Amino acid sequence: MTDSVLIEGLAVEAIIGVYDWEREVSQRLLVDLEMAWDNRVPAASDDVGDALDYARVSERVAAYLASARPQLLETAAEGIAGLLQAEFGVRWLRLTLRKPGAVPAAAAVGVKIERGSL
């Protein structure tokens, strides 16, 4: 199966970082997700209950980042991947997590991970 569901450029405000000042302010993070999902069933039924509900996924990712308050992007990425696999049954995903403005000379810094199998 090569079907997937995409969420690109999900903007989330979260407390993240290792410096003292970063633990006091909310920073914008950008999340890109590609998640393996068999889209034939929801296509046939036209029922969101059969689909990977990207609105629910987006809300859950935002809630996780708001509550987890990790220091590292790596920790945040692993947490998101784990919850998507556990809570939504996503077998494989590719996740990019960016922190715009973290390095003045760069548009963003970030991490990219792939977890699971197709």
pLDDT at 34: 98
The structural domains of the chain, ordered by start, are 4-116 (3.30.1130.10)
- Rounded to an integer, the average pLDDT of 74-95 is 98
CA angle 50, 13, 59 (to 5 degrees): 15
pLDDT for the residue 118: 85
Q: Is 99 a catalytic site residue?
A: yes
CA distance 70 to 12: 14
Average pLDDT over the chain, rounded to an integer: 96
What was the pLDDT predicted at 1?
Answer: 60
Q: What is the pLDDT of residues 17-52, one digit of tens each?
A: 999 999 999 999 999 999 999 999 999 999 999 999
Percent of the chain with pLDDT over 70: 99
| Annotated catalytic residue, options 48, 99, 105, 114 | 99
Q: Which ranges of 35-117 would DSSP assign to H, the alpha helix?
A: 40-45, 54-68, 73-88
Nearest C-alpha neighbor of 73 from the set 108, 100, 107, 110: 110
